Chain A
Amino acid sequence: MQTVKMGPAPSAAVANHGIPASGIPALPRLERLREAILAAPYGLCTQKAELMTEAMRVEAPQSRLAKHLAPLHFDALRKALEDNLASGAPVERWQLQMSKRLQELWLRLDQRAQTQPLVVSFAKALAHTLARAELQIHADELLVGNPTRHRVGAALHPDYGGMLLMPELDRLDARAVNPMRTTPGQRWRLEHEVFPFWFSRSVMARGPLFAADLELPNKLTEGRRFVLTQFAGISHVTPDFPRVLELGFVGIREQLREARRDARSDEQAAFYEAGEIVASAVIEFGARWSRRCADEARRLEPSDPARAAELRELAQILARVPAHPARSFHEALQSVISTWVAVHQESFQHGVSFGRVDQYLWPYYERDLAAGRIDRARAVELLGCVLAKASEQLPLFNQMATEFFSGLSSASGLTLGGTTNHGATGADASNELTSLWLLAYDRMRLRQPNLHLRLHERSPRALRELAFEIIGRGGGQPALFNEAQIIPALRELGVSDEDARNFSIVGCVEWGVPYSSFPAAGAGFISLPAVLDEVLREPTLRSHVALSSLMATIWSAFCERLAETVCEAVAGNDAIERAHAQCRPTPLLSILVDGCIEAGRDVTQAGARYDSTGIQGVGLADVADSLAAIEELVVEQGRLSLAELMRAVDLDFRGHDQLRSRLVEKVPKYGQDHGRPERWAAEVARAYAEELRRHRNPRGGPYAPGFWSMTTHVGFGARLGALPSGRAAGRPLANGVSPTNGADSRGPTASLLAVTGVGGAHVSNGLALNESLDPQLAGGPTGAALVDALTRGYFAAGGMQVQYNVIDVNELIDAKRYPDRHRGLVVRISGYSAYFNDLTPTMKDELIARASHGRPGAQVSTEGAL
């Protein structure tokens, strides 16, 4: 049984750089930390919402007129939101029209009431927040920082899309999936103080002002053809942690001061002023933490002198970082965590990633090791504390978002291994830290952060052995990325060779340039089967009788409709991004993304060196299987006409059991490597990529196509009728680039190869392949060697990415029935892992289906397949 309870001591296999996995002793501190996090109830955090509102009332006050009139609009909007979200009914056009007019009015009034540039107002609001945020030190931790006020909590961001939660606030405590603790006081303050201030200034409120399409708000909540996410925030970025370690915020503030002297415009000057304000705020934030640790040390001195000593050390570390350059490994890690926490008091919690942590932290570790200031066990303990911190944070999703993004991932990615991007091309970059991160993960096994391992042809064998043994123990980490395929995909997007070779994973699976790009990688998801569905509803197409031209006719209609859908989604996203640029600058994030200081511009206003926006195509396998089914049954076999087939599809196959059975059982599916469905999948992927790449975002960067789904395939599927593939109405679509559940019946080599056709240089925003393996097959040293070989074969054949879910289907079934017995069971969902207990019931069922594919393991082949 593949549990992820505190992992058993790893086998005696020798890890990378001569570290025996078993050479790291038991680390009870990490065990206690893990238990504390697993036991913590989830809480709603409104600290940022309240403090920022308090500050913005002063820094960016509402006009007097708005103060008097806005409450009426707020009440109307609130009612519309409640009706709309509760029933899924679209908001009436006249209401949208009216609302838009009023929003335009508030915007004009707001702008007139402004006493200082907006970016400065937001900088001061962040400073206010950081100066007053509660500071909690938890038992055992060697690194401090609170993403929220709860041990494990979700922050509400009223400046982005937080208001969407308003209709569900009263039910948050009691909802069946992902309940969150709230207090009556919190709810009252949100409803009476926070939302009334932000309802007219949030990105969600202002997005429609920048859209030509009046119906955009309805389309956002419809969730049938596409979903756009960035009204909830952009994030999905890897801040320049190396620069923080090298310069500290004092050094960065110095850069800003210098740049300010040469400012060429008021906008630039305002940006630099805001930058200095937030840099100073983070410096003071560190100092506050230092005092807090010192106070706590004094308090504990009599009762627990050992802990007091640890806290005194932390007080010293925080007196130094993140203000100044880090000198030791411990300082470096605390500096990264303090920065990461501060960024989350400004930006929403999705995909704020750590970059190549084994690279930029290496000099600090190496120096400490050489000086005898640290040993490997201590290093693992410190890294375990980083991993624990990253898991303290949850995203806040309303009911609809929970369906589309089940599993509570806030998708902080952490990238390991790979080659160097400087000097000799392709020298292996892994080091002892690479292994230590993996070993620390193996001890913690929490749902977050996402561990990503870059692999190449010369990745050290010992590192691979360690990684695959850890994968074999379940939990879905680390995910594996093939450099040989990914670097060209980034170059194709316009990234320089050196930067492409330095790629890291932003969030789930999105490859991008760390420290200097604003990739907006999770901006939206488009349901490809919904496009096909619309095309196949056309009566003229259905009555097309010339079989020789049928597929070409369907294909060109599909491409045409795909182009329209992409245009619509892009236009909607453009509006949201323009709203960000005009209404919600993020000065702290901006001074941490290379390019912004030189340009004197916020990340939302194209300050970063690289800009792009990622939108994902979802349900590739369902489209491929549907097209293949039409081609085989209608065109080739002439068994029935397209009109007949579609009539059965319209009826969700009621009364057409035989046809549905033939579609499901006898027509080859994508993932079985028969050829035809795979060719369609490759064509659909290329058509989607080509269509999306035609567009540029408001920051002037390309739109980058990706093929991963989180759980949007469940949300889209629930809103879509039956398909010619035989998929019944309402059922989930296929996830990521994976075959539909059960279609991987010809074993992993066939499904892995099927996927390679979809990949290539056109996939610039990542793809996710979820491969479920039985623990009997993938566990232990033999299993590790086997899965390693499987991965090397897949990568040699052109594979880009894979993550293995090593799970015992019986354990999942038991966990669905008895959640309490399986606390801490971690499973891979998409580009991220989650506690099984946090998933929606539909998603639990899907994981059970994924793990029970026709062929659970390798065959004992003295047995034929009859």
Chain B
Amino acid sequence: MSGADAAVVFDVQRFSIHDGPGIRTVVFFKGCALACRWCQNPESRRAQPELAYHADRCLPGCRLCVSVCPEGAILDRMNERVRWDACTHCGACVDTCPSDALVMVGEQWTVERLLDAVLADRHFYEASGGGVTLSGGEPVLASDFLSAFLPRAKQAGLHLTLETSGHYPFALLEPLLPELDLILFDVKAGGRERHLDLVGHDNHQVLANLERLLARDSGPELELRMPVVPGLNDGDASLDQLCATLRGLGVERLTLLPYNHLWEAKLARLDTKQTALGISPPAKDYYRALEQRFAARGVTGLAPG
């Protein structure tokens, strides 16, 4: 669990160029209250560090891990290595694995360590107008940690971006606002019922938080983004409801994030209930048409490219 001293971070990705301006380092925090059916990072959902198994990296004939599991959850099968129902994610097998087939996703990071890690690329941020992006999972759930981290990062002159789902009590977000430069705020679907169906919660809290953010006349820049999932959140009814809500809030534009299905390859590695959607990448002109459908509803939706 994240506290003020440490948070569970599962990746610190340098040289990212699609998550805010310039060259950035993206910090992925573990833990999220939503359960989006298309979640790109299924390994981010659990708040605690968890075991993952990459069958493709497993060394044939190795078997070093089989005997070390205190729960007997490691099977002597390359294709089905872990009995997830017995695994406690203790990580005892990870050190014995010589090929990084068994890995822990997420570990505790202190403020100092994270600062060091993100400051490594400061010359590249300066040269490109970049900085650090907090992502996840839902980073705001690590609010206590971020309350300690962000002022230090700000002091070091870093441009700070938050990627967020918006689903949490506003009190968690509020103390972070003075330090942030940009918030990339996800809206997932229009309509309460649809939202509940697709992401596991209705959109009440998300919209309330968005409204409060929009009401502020100072603080970080706000950019709305919608992860497009063809067939799930791009129907006429969803768009109608979403655009009506946005117009009601005075929002005129949002960024459309094109769908990619790379996350489905991760499922087999994880202890997760998320299932593949089998959605193939849409045809070339799909996003242009989608932009027009947004325009027809009074909102500027912009897909990259």
Contact = CB atoms under 8 A, between A and B. Distances in A.
A863 B127 contact: no
Contact of B59 (A661, A748, A794): A661
A864 interface: yes
B59 to A, nearest CB: 5
A865 interface: yes
Given A793-B123, A858-B15, A866 B43 contact: yes
A788 to B, nearest CB: 8
Contacts of B256: none
Interface stretch (B258-266, B275-283, B291-299): B258-266
A657 B16 CA distance: 34
A796 interface: yes
A665 interface: yes
B124 A864 contact: no
B13 A865 contact: yes
A865 B128 contact: no
Given A792-B127, A861-B16, A864-B41, A665 B121 contact: no
A863 B40 CA distance: 6
Interface string A725-755: 0000000000000000000001111100100
A861 B57 contact: no
Interface residues of B, number: 49
Interface-central residue, A750, A753, A794, A863, by most chain B CB under 10 Å? A863
Contact of A863 (B125, B128, B129, B263): B263
Nearest to A793: B124
B64 interface: yes
Contacts of B26: 859, 861
Interface string A787-805: 0111111101100000000
A665 B57 contact: yes
B18 interface: yes
Contacts of B22: 789
B145 interface: no
A753 B105 contact: no
B100 A658 contact: no
Nearest to B43: A866
B274 interface: no
Contact of A862 (B10, B40, B269): B40
Nearest to A660: B98
B145 to A, nearest CB: 18
B135 A862 contact: yes
Given A747-B15, A789-B23, A862-B19, A665 B100 contact: yes
Contact of A749 (B57, B64, B124): B124
A139 B158 CA distance: 59
A863 B16 CA distance: 11
A797 B263 contact: no
B240 to A, nearest CB: 26
A864 B43 contact: yes
B11 A864 contact: yes
Contacts of B15: 747-750, 790, 858-859
Given A793-B121, A862-B257, A786 B126 contact: no
Given A665-B57, A789-B22, A865-B11, 5 more contacts: A666-B98, A789-B130, A790-B124, A864-B11, A866-B11
A820 B262 CA distance: 36
Closest 4 CB pairs of A and B: A793-B124, A789-B128, A792-B127, A747-B15
B143 interface: no
Interface string B55-72: 001010110100000000
B105 A866 contact: yes
Interface string A164-179: 0000000000000000
A673 interface: yes
Interface string B120-161: 110111111110010100000000000000000000000000
Interface string A847-866: 00000000000111111111
B13 to A, nearest CB: 5
Could you say which interface size class chain A belongs to? Answer: 20 to 34
Interface core residue of A666, A750, A753, A862 (most chain B CB under 10 Å): A862
A400 interface: no
Nearest to B64: A658
A858 B120 contact: no
A862 B98 CA distance: 29
A789 B227 CA distance: 28
A846 to B, nearest CB: 23
B133 to A, nearest CB: 7
A661, A793, A861: which has the most chain B beta carbons within 10 Å? Answer: A861
B41 A859 contact: no
B234 to A, nearest CB: 17
A861 B121 CA distance: 16
A662 interface: yes
Contacts of A661: 59, 62, 98-99
B127 A789 contact: yes
B14 interface: yes
A80 interface: no
Nearest to A777: B17
A750 B128 CA distance: 16
A786 B120 CA distance: 18
B36 to A, nearest CB: 11
Nearest to A799: B123
Interface string B13-48: 111111100111010100000000000110110000
11 contacts: A661-B59, A666-B98, A747-B15, A777-B17, A786-B23, A793-B127, A861-B24, A863-B40, A863-B260, A864-B43, A866-B52
A470 B208 CA distance: 49
Contacts of B124: 749, 789-790, 793-794
A789 B126 CA distance: 9
Interface in A591-642: none
Given A864-B11, A865-B13, A749 B23 contact: yes
Contacts of A748: 15
Given A858-B15, A864-B11, A786 B128 contact: yes
Contacts of B130: 789
A792 B44 CA distance: 34
Interface in A661-696: 661-662, 665-666, 673
Given A657-B59, A673-B120, A665 B99 contact: yes
B23 A793 contact: yes
A666 B57 CA distance: 12
Contacts of B121: 749, 753, 793
Contact of B14 (A662, A666, A750, A789): A750
B13 A861 contact: yes
A36 interface: no
A657 B99 CA distance: 10
A866 B100 contact: no
A864 B61 CA distance: 30
A135 interface: no
Given A786-B128, A793-B124, A866 B98 contact: no
Contacts of A666: 98-100
B188 to A, nearest CB: 13
Contacts of B270: 866
A747 B14 contact: yes
B275 to A, nearest CB: 17
A665 B269 contact: no
Nearest to A797: B123
A796 B127 contact: yes
Contacts of B128: 786, 789-790, 792-793
B127 A790 contact: yes
B260 A864 contact: no
A214 interface: no
A263 interface: no
Specify which of B19, B125, B127 lies most central, judged by the most chain A CB atoms within 10 Å of its CB: B127
Nearest to B163: A862
Nearest to A748: B15
Nearest to A662: B98
A860 B17 CA distance: 7
